[in-house]
Amino acid sequence: MGGDNCIFCKIIEGKIPSRKVYEDEEMLAFHDINPAAPIHFLVIPKKHLPMLCDASSEDTQLLGKIMLKIPELAIQEGANPGQTGGFKILMNNGAEGGQEVYHMHLHVLAGKRLGNQQLPGGTK
């Protein structure tokens, strides 16, 4: 894991509780503690990657698996599928990109029309 200071590694290890959406040997999805939409959960690799920029070609399969799992999880959590429904995937990368927790993670938001507006807090 990524060390003692990574809050997401602590969640993966079970040292900090979370409301899990999904878990397997390579990834974990859990509800955001400060949701910015009616449906808001995070998807993280169990491998500690501080940022997307730290991923390498060795991580291609893992990242693809995460991206392909997100639609299934979004629908499972109540997002409406298809062109009239949908969901938003958000990833902050680095300080200028708004990243606050340095363990790569994707926010999945749904449950209302999200559009292109700036999301309120809770998108760490």
Q: Which residues are catalytic?
A: 105
Nearest CA to 78 among 109, 111, 37?
111
Q: Which residues pair with 42 in a beta bridge?
A: 30, 107
Nearest CA to 108 among 23, 31, 52, 54?
31
Which residues does 76 contact at the CB level (< 8 Å), separation at least 6? 21, 22
Q: CA-to-CA distance for 65 and 54, rounded, in angstroms?
A: 17
Which residues does 92 contact at the CB level (< 8 Å), separation at least 6? 98, 99, 100, 123, 124
